[in-house]
Amino acid sequence: MSGSLIDDSTTTEENKNTEEAATSTESTQTESQATDDPNQKLDPFNDADGFKDEKGLYLGKYKTIPEVMKGYKELSGKLREKNPEAPESYQAISFKDDQDIPQEYRTLEINAENDPLFKEFEPTFKAGKFTQEQVNLLVKNHFLYNIKNQPDLNKEREKLGEDADKILSNITRYRDKRNTPAMKALAQLAGQNGDMLKELNILIGAAGEKGIPGDINNGGMESKSPEEWDADAREYKKKYGKEMDSGSKFHQDKYYELLGKATKAKKLG
């Protein structure tokens, strides 16, 4: 170990001055960097002037940052209100006190148990997060549309003329005899239109169903017993016997047609 008259811990005046100068330089550089650093964090309540528009407003409407934050909270709340969760199950929809619904329908209640269409769409309501109020409004408007556009059954019945009761009775009987979903749907659809009922009646007559009123010349068959058909044939012969004896093919064919219907009615009976 070499000795020295100069103690290493001793600081000369020159070294002291040099250290002070270095410290001053470092301080100046640090302050300069802090001022020029673009990533320096700003105080959002005091240093956000750069985000203002030409009118001095934030986002075109707020004067201060706290107002911006308040507006954001209000908007978030409104968005949450617009996207609520669907209920576990929808309550029955009642028109009891609804003045928009005609009086005769206000006793109705619609739910998934008594309305197939509601039951069919209930999963869609839930998937779309429909609220009870939204479902109520949707069902109500659909119901009002159906009421507005339902046919006038009295006018449709008038299209059937004197045979209305016979046509309806026999179509109903044929529907019940067939007892298939398709036939029930067809009868229900035709039941809203008199012209469709008449066409369905003729088709049923062509199928050989007993007692179908309609146009005899087009293959339909009126609702009569074998005895009534026999009586009609006798009456026809009494009335047009001379023409038949004179060789009128038209009247002869008509007479035998009535006898044929009597025979057919016996077989069906």
Confidence at 6, pLDDT banded by 50, 70, 90? very low
Confidence at 179, pLDDT banded by 50, 70, 90? confident
Does any domain span residue 29?
A: no
Amino acid (1-letter code) at residue 144: L
Counted domains in the chain: 4
Q: Quote the tokens at residue 160.
A: 């059937």
Mean pLDDT of 108-114: 83
Does any domain span residue 97?
A: yes
Alpha-carbon distance of 174 to 182, in angstroms, equals 13
**What's residue 219's pLDDT?**
43
Task: Say whether both 159 and 218 belong to one domain.
Answer: yes
Point out the domain boundary residue: 223, 242, 260: 223
Point out the domain boundary residue: 123, 149, 175: 149
* Residue 189 belongs to domain spanning: 152-223
Task: Say whether both 99 and 129 belong to one domain.
Answer: yes
Does any domain span residue 169?
A: yes
Mean pLDDT of 13-33: 52
Confidence at 8, pLDDT banded by 50, 70, 90? very low
Mean pLDDT of 69-96: 76
Which alpha helices (H) appear in the chain, and where do they start and end?
A: 13-36, 65-82, 116-127, 132-149, 153-158, 164-178, 181-190, 194-206, 226-245, 249-268
Does any domain span residue 39?
A: no
**What's residue 158's pLDDT?**
92
166 vs 83, higher pLDDT:
166
Confidence check: pLDDT of 134 > 70: yes
**What's residue 27's pLDDT?**
52
Confidence check: pLDDT of 57 > 50: yes
Task: Say whether both 218 and 235 belong to one domain.
Answer: no
Mean pLDDT of 19-44: 50
Q: In DSSP terms, which residues pair with 93 in a beta bridge?
A: 110
Does any domain span residue 201?
A: yes
**What's residue 18's pLDDT?**
52
Global pTM value = 0.38
**What's residue 17's pLDDT?**
54
Task: Say whether both 156 and 202 belong to one domain.
Answer: yes
Most confident of 90-94, 205-209, 221-225: 90-94
**What are the backbone dihedrals phi and psi of residue 93, each rounded to the nearest 5 degrees, phi first?**
-95, 120
Mean pLDDT of 244-261: 85
83 vs 93, higher pLDDT:
93
42 vs 66, higher pLDDT:
66
Task: Say whether both 166 and 216 belong to one domain.
Answer: yes
Q: For the chain, give the mean pLDDT.
A: 75
Confidence at 148, pLDDT banded by 50, 70, 90? confident
Confidence check: pLDDT of 3 > 80: no
Task: Say whether both 185 and 241 belong to one domain.
Answer: no
**What's residue 168's pLDDT?**
92
Cβ atoms of 194 and 152 within 8 Å: the answer is: no
Q: Quote the tokens at residue 216.
A: 């005899």
Point out the domain boundary residue: 134, 149, 164: 149
Does any domain span residue 263?
A: yes
Residue 171's nearest CA partner among 224, 130, 141, 214 is: 214
Task: Say whether both 177 and 232 belong to one domain.
Answer: no
Does any domain span residue 32?
A: no
Alpha-carbon distance of 110 to 112, in angstroms, equals 7
Confidence check: pLDDT of 4 > 50: no
Confidence check: pLDDT of 34 > 90: no
